């Protein structure tokens, strides 16, 4: 069983939920963490592969790195934490929004539709020439044409690199300010602006829950902390949310 400090009795007021997910949820599916505090993925530092300077200095080295990641991502599958969030969306429908810092496809493959990938997606590509972006599942080479402008050699990963503005921020802020439950799952609390989402939700009056393997720098901000694997905790928490809401209704 999981231990809650005060969730029972509060669930009746949880009508709009925002869930923020980080690398910890995908790690349970076997996705290595490369954007964590150590900044390593297969021995590569983020400065080498995930900055504007890196893509300007060595665009094909960066593309080859993300080609490798894209191929690897196609071998992993959603775990019980992803599946639990899809179950929660079926129950809450448009009143649940999942915001992910992850660039993998696991939430989509689990079935989540109300999903914002704030750091971009591995299975998408961005054109440096025309700004077009489109779904992409293969390796990028120097010969790969942009589907919008038809130019070769101008594509880069559709990933938000360090010091670039995350996607969908207006939608995310609006959801945070209108939700009454905010859950952060498997996120380190190091990367802003996501690390500040709990502050926005708290100021808007939302109840806040952190699910993580260990405490983070942001843990003291949350009203409730649940320590353990997301794949074990989220199915229990989701069932409790659904059952309590049904009882109240």
Rounded Cα–Cα distance for residues 49 and 45 (Å): 7
Contact 212, 25 (CB under 8 A): no
- Residue 95: Cβ within 10 Å count: 18
Catalytic (active site) residue 129: no
Of 9, 39, 5, 22, the C-alpha closest to 212 is 22
Q: Encoding tokens for residue 198? A: 């709990």
181 three-state secondary structure:
strand
Of 114, 31, 21, 111, the C-alpha closest to 69 is 31
Q: What angle do CA 51, 188, 173 make, to 5 degrees?
A: 80
Q: Encoding tokens for residue 163? A: 């010091």
Rounded Cα–Cα distance for residues 184 and 176 (Å): 12
Catalytic one among 82, 105, 107, 119?
Answer: 119
Catalytic residues: 119
């Amino acid at each position: 069983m999981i231990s809650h400090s005060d969730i029972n009795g509060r669930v009746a007021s949880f009508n709009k939920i925002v869930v923020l997910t980080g690398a910890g949820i995908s790690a349970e599916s076997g996705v290595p963490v490369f954007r964590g505090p150590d900044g390593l993925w297969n021995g590569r530092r983020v400065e080498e592969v995930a900055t504007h300077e890196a893509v300007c200095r060595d665009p094909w080295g960066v593309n080859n790195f993300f080609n490798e990641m894209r191929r690897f991502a196609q071998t992993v599958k959603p775990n019980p934490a992803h599946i639990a969030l899809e179950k929660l969306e079926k129950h809450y429908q448009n009143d649940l929004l999942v915001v992910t810092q992850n660039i993998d496809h696991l939430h989509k493959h689990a079935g989540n539709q109300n999903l914002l990938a704030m750091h971009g997606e591995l299975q998408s590509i961005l054109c440096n020439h025309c700004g077009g972006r489109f779904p992409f599942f293969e390796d990028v080479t120097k010969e790969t044409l942009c589907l919008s402008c038809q130019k070769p050699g101008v594509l880069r990963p559709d990933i938000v690199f360090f010091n670039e503005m995350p996607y969908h921020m207006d939608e995310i802020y609006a959801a945070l300010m209108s939700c009454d439950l905010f859950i952060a799952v498997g996120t380190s609390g190091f990367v802003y602006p996501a690390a500040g989402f709990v502050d926005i939700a708290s100021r808007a009056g939302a109840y806040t829950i952190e699910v993580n393997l260990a405490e983070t720098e942001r843990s003291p901000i949350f009203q409730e902390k649940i320590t353990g694997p997301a794949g074990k905790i989220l199915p229990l928490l989701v069932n409790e949310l659904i059952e309590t809401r049904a009882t109240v209704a």
